[in-house]
Amino acid sequence: VVHKSLISQGIKKMPVVFPHANNFQISDAIFRQAWADILRDHDHNNQGPDLPRLRSIWPLARIEEEGYQLSLEYLLRKLVPRVYQTTAQATQRFLAANNHIVTPTPETVVNPATTVHVQGVRLLPAALTMDRAQLSADPDPVRIVNPATGRMRRVAGLQPAPAALTMNRAQFLADPDVAGFLNFFSQCLHNLEVDYQSNYTHIHHADRHFHVTGVTAAHASYAWPGKNTFIDPPHPSIYDWITTSGFLGMARTALRNAIATRNDPATWDVVSKILEWGLPPRARLAGLERLREICPGHPGMSISAYLGGAQGVINLHAVNTAAITPALVPYASSGMSKVHSLASPDGLIIFDSRVAATVGECINEYLRRQHTIAIPTTLKIFIEMVHNGNNPEQRVPMPLANGINHDGFVYDHRWIECQVRVSWMFEAVLARNDNVFPGLSMPDRMHCLEAACFMMGAYLQPGPFAGRSFNFARC
């Protein structure tokens, strides 16, 4: 069942784009035929129309030797030009770029080569492939009948696109919802109580109980089991805020100098050290790989030119959120929030899932007190999604304490838009609370508040850390 406005507008086919093959494109029809051919030739168990995703860095020859032909990875490798057949193709980036034609399956599928349940990918119906602009203008989301259940469901990736948030700092802070929240957030700075058991393996068991009231106490308890990569040789340890801020100061100076002089080797070196400090090894390598994919095809052809261009949209005092576009910021993540923060000239905070979780929890409590579950657009920030226990590749939105769910993180320019807006909030709330982190510059105070929120939100996720509690009774 398709809304009549879509029928009257007509259907416009969109090409299939391969981001890891220099944006090589093929037609909708060719992709669908290749999908059908893979099922015909390799689905010997008749397991259905969905494909295992696979996503492997193996060479194409090994994928064939191991018997993984029934997979999205194999299909995409066979479709791209030969020069790109050694590069992993079935990534989250491919799915995001082609969500008009493919979508992750809501349930796992069986990989016939291993009999293991893995993430699956589904081909969307041909009649529902349409132009994004058409869909964004449609007042009613597309729904189809699931033949397995007979029930109506939304087609993943085809919901109407939200309106862009276009405002500068003054306009944002003048918004009534933001102003109301900042009044409440001021109380949280002093009176929010957080209690949980830390799981940092380098911290002695006797010192793992984290119980603080207010951001000053949370900041004093800061601990990060990272690696100080500006010490030779680098060594992992538990760092307090004084040591950590010293590292960040060195990294900030080195990064800005490298960008200003367009020194690509130096820029890559500093970015790598920042990610090594802030991310586990696999995430660091994935972040560097993603950056190397972007920079050769980005205007300027270099990492320093890319980050230099991004500096223009992360200047808190000058930026309008409308300037934060996919062209200038094609990739964002927890790791890149650290890089962008250190490249910023005026206090852009690091915005990872822990910081977002604390701010999101405060927003939810504020809205609960307003007797509403609707999140105003200006207060929508992104909270990290948690892994599905049965399928590590499938990520589901995190449920928060009062039942309000923020949207999940998206790895594009919208992450930085949220990072900018939360930075504006931090600056504004600290401006009216001079006794919080006094005697420091405003950017340094903002980073202290960021560190406090990081500690408060360290174990917000459910599961093993369900004993975590936020107590707003005194706020």
pLDDT tier at 196 (50, 70, 90 boundaries)? Answer: confident
Q: pLDDT per residue over 107-145, tens digit each?
A: 677 766 666 777 889 888 763 333 333 333 333 333 333
Q: pLDDT per residue over 316-329, tens digit each?
A: 877 778 778 877 78
Q: pLDDT per residue over 170-185, tens digit each?
A: 999 999 999 999 999 9
pLDDT at 255: 94
Segment 73-81 shows an average pLDDT of 90
* Position 389 pLDDT exceeds 70: no
- By DSSP bridging, strand 391-396 and strand 469-471 are unpaired
Residue 137 tokens read as 């203008």
Question: Concatenated DSSP letters for 47-82?
Answer: --S-EE-----S-HHHHHHTT--SSHHHHHHHHS-G
pLDDT at 165: 63
Provide the mean pLDDT of the chain: 75
pLDDT tier at 465 (50, 70, 90 boundaries)? Answer: very low
The model's pTM is 0.63
Closest-CA residue to 138 (of 156, 155, 160):
160
Segment 337-345 shows an average pLDDT of 91
Residue 426 burial class via C-beta count within 10 angstroms: exposed 0-12, middle 13-18, buried 19 and up: buried
* Position 153 pLDDT exceeds 70: no
Torsion of CA 59, 60, 62, 64, to 10 degrees: 170
Closest-CA residue to 223 (of 349, 419, 354, 387):
354
pLDDT at 397: 32
pLDDT at 107: 67
pLDDT tier at 24 (50, 70, 90 boundaries)? Answer: confident
Segment 382-395 shows an average pLDDT of 38
Residue 310 tokens read as 């991004």
For residue 32, the tally of other CB atoms under 10 A from its CB is 15
Distance CA 250, CA 152 (A): 55
pLDDT at 203: 56
